[in-house]
Structure 1
Amino acid sequence: MSAVVRAAQGGDEGAFQSVFRALQPWLLRYLYVLVGEDAEDVASETWLQVVRDLDAFRGDFDGFRGWVVTMSRNRALDHLRSRRRRPRGDIPVEYLTDLPGTEDTAGAALSSAGISTALGLVARLPRDQAEAVLLRVVMDLDADTAAQVLGKRPGAVRMAAHRGLKMLAKLLEQSAAGPAEPAAPPPRKPAQKSSREGVTRTKSPTLKDMR
């Protein structure tokens, strides 16, 4: 794909379409966790910037992916600041299908309950962990490239991804177990009243008591 990127830089429209088709689905999944239903709008803004700055890019396809993701993240953060909106927590299934888990821990976590279910819970993670998991697992970026996108050290990104995957596994276990059934209320004790003789008698329950 590195040759395809270079061809796109040379003005080959078909090559650019190939690059777009290779990255767009992954980009939408990443952006959906950040900006929700506005993911397609932010992705469109990202690609406009890619076209505008394409000649300035230098590097291979892995570097190109990191370059595009960095643009998309900056656009997403600008979008959130302008709208003052929080990322949404639910993700349409069609955005999440057929995603491989590239790390052993990620693959184990994702395969335990289905990829759609697992990534649907990613937005519930703390922001730094969610982004680290998305970049490392969904976008399949190496730690160095992901660190450049996030402006952090590679070790910090690895740690955030590790913690995010551990928390994700716990969320998956809770999701698989389902909501706990509420405990049955204790039986109602019949009301009591005292007779004139001082003997305690049980009062018969009425419909009002049973409601």
Structure 2
Amino acid sequence: MQVSDYIVKKYGRTAFPRETMLEGGTDDMSISDLIAVIIGKGSRYESVFAISERIIRDYGSKTIAEIKDPAKIDQMLKIGLVNSCKLVAAFELGRRFYSPSVKRKTLIRGPEDIYGHTKEMSGFIKEVFRGLYLNTKSMIIHDENISVGHLSGTLVHPREVFKTAIDCSANSIIVVHNHPSGEAQPSKNDDEITKMLKETGEILQIPLVDHVIIAESGYYSYNKEGRL
């Protein structure tokens, strides 16, 4: 039996993760598959799949993603500095692309300012749910992507939204998400999420100022439409 046949039998996939991506894209690839693509090849003692699955099993993708020191990654995973640098770079790219930082405190006076701050979301092919956290002067002190979903929708829970608000001592919050379909009109699910976040904000005394939907056609503001 060839080595590649053994890996297919053991792991139920092609011996080369790049081929999996080339043949069918990333939708059906697991996190360990994606890590295998980044690492590229295994060592003398482990296949690339064994390495990637060991990383997820022993440390979890979130823990690894939060470490920015390649030497520390290598110390933990024993995958070499080159591969450690690849992992750190890949996770950092993801952070910078999906988690925009606030270089200066942006004043939010209304939905036009919200749209101006987030309009790049109209081009996203996946649905992204984003939180803007404001101080007492209605200036953004924290900007975070809360969840990233598929075209069918994204799961949002008040716990994730308001935990960050408490952590950064926000006075109020705004939530924004995009519609990859191109139409900004809210769905029934959008209405339910807005109602749930509004009620949670009232209990915690961290009010939901607005929920804005971004799309190629423009934007929809629950506040502007008198629905908050």
Q: Does TM-score exceed 0.5, indicating one fold?
A: no
Which has more helix, going by share of residues?
Answer: 1
Task: State the TM-score, normalized to the length of structure 1.
Answer: 0.28
Normalising by the residue count of structure 2, what TM-score does the alignment of the two structures yield? Answer: 0.27
Q: Whose radius of gyration is greater, 1 or 2?
A: 1
